[in-house]
């Protein structure tokens, strides 16, 4: 079944249907169709004015200083987040949801991978060329995570597993085998821990002293540790 040419309503109509017991059923989707989603925009900032006693005038009256208080509301848990003295955070500190909302002025579409994650369960997810999905916050990487989380088992295919760096594997492992990463005690937001345990560091020291035997004025010294 080719999901690339199907609309959201057509895919949703498949909910509750049972596959044939005589032969396996394959659903096919490309990474572009899996990742395309509606645009997001920052949440509207709300303002409230707090009052603080400032001085007492000659008539004995208290003069108040009105201080604006800016905040946003998390769209998922309703948590009030103060942004008066700091920039807007990317995620809610309470429920970890992304602090953005749908932009109704942009293209109206919904990521099919997210739809499959919410409403369907699969026995096996086969993902080809997974080395192209190694980015941390990329849309196609998140699409892979959506599909693998909706599947009992995952078969990841690639002819180039990594590009020579430990961090090439970090997010891929979280997407295809998150239970292993949890068992290792690793944190999704701290790829440095993975690199320190399974990678090799190279310390590069630059000597800025002038090299009198050439027209250049600096030279690099590479030292591996």
Helix, coil or strand: residue 18: coil
Q: What's the pLDDT score for residue 108?
A: 80
Q: What's the pLDDT score for residue 215?
A: 44
Helix, strand, coil tally for the chain in percent (to 5):
25, 25, 50
- Cα distance between residue 161 and residue 100, in whole Å: 33
- Angle at CA of residue 163, ends 145 and 161, nearest 5°: 50
Judge contact between 4 and 34, C-beta under 8 A: no
Judge contact between 94 and 77, C-beta under 8 A: yes
Residue for token pair 């003295």 = 85
Q: What's the pLDDT score for residue 66?
A: 67
Q: What's the pLDDT score for residue 51?
A: 54
Q: What is the pLDDT of residues 147-177, one digit of tens each?
A: 999 999 999 998 887 777 788 889 999 999 9
Per-domain boundaries in the chain? 8-37+111-204, 42-102
Phi then psi dihedrals of residue 141, to 5 deg? -65, -40
Q: What's the pLDDT score for residue 39?
A: 80
Residues with pLDDT less than 50, the chain: 211-225
């Amino acid at each position: 079944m080719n999901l690339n040419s199907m609309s959201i309503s057509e895919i949703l109509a498949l909910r509750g249907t049972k596959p044939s017991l005589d032969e396996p059923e394959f659903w096919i989707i490309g990474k572009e169709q899996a990742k395309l989603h509606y645009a997001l925009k920052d949440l509207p900032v709300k303002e409230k004015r707090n009052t603080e006693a400032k001085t007492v005038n000659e008539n004995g009256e208290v003069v108040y200083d009105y201080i604006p208080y800016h905040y946003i509301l998390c769209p998922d848990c309703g948590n009030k987040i103060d942004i008066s003295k700091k920039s807007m955070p990317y995620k809610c500190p309470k429920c970890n949801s992304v602090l953005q909302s749908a932009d109704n002025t942009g293209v109206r579409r919904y990521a099919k991978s997210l739809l499959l994650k919410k409403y369907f369960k699969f026995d096996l997810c086969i993902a080809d060329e997974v080395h192209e999905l190694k980015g941390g916050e990329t849309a196609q990487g998140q699409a892979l995570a959506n599909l693998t989380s909706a599947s009992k088992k995952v078969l990841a295919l690639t002819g180039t597993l990594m590009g020579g760096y430990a961090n090439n594997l970090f997010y891929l492992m979280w997407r295809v085998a998150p239970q292993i990463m949890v068992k290792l005690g690793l944190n999704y937001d701290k790829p440095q821990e993975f690199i320190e345990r399974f990678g090799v560091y190279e310390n590069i020291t630059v000597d800025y002293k002038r090299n009198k035997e050439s027209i250049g004025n600096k030279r690099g010294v590479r030292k591996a540790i």
